[in-house]
Amino acid sequence: MDLKLMLTTFGMIFLAELGDKTQLATMAFAAEGRSRLAVFIGSAGALVLTSLLGVVFGASIAKLIPPNYVKGGAGVLFVLLGLWMLFSPGGK
């Protein structure tokens, strides 16, 4: 295992997630005062699963599409998801 790559990935993802919509959504669910343990388990599980999907699909896509297109597509998707979270009623 490449320890340097692992630590670099950890550091970048950790810094990217601070104040990100994922953390803010988790804070919002925890603030509702229901089971904080359920919120933690749900958000941690979701982050692990999305990371797994990112690695699997990223490796597959890299064989077909140049990395700069993948980065651009990821940026567009990030903006679209942010807008969706901002304007969706959230079930209330």
Chain-centroid distance, C-alpha 12:
12
Output the pLDDT for position 86.
87
Measured between alpha carbons, how far is 69 from 74 in angstroms, rounded to an integer? Answer: 8
Prediction pTM value: 0.61
Helix, strand or coil, per DSSP, at residue 52: helix
Query: 48: exposed, middle or buried (C-beta count within 10 Å: 0-12, 13-18, 19+)?
Result: exposed
Q: Domain segments of the chain: what residues?
A: 3-65
Distant-in-sequence, close-in-space partners of 25: CB < 8 Å, separation ≥ 6: 43, 85
Residue 62 corresponds to which amino acid?
A
Tell me the pLDDT tens digit for each residue of 7-47: 999 998 888 888 888 888 999 999 987 899 999 999 999 99
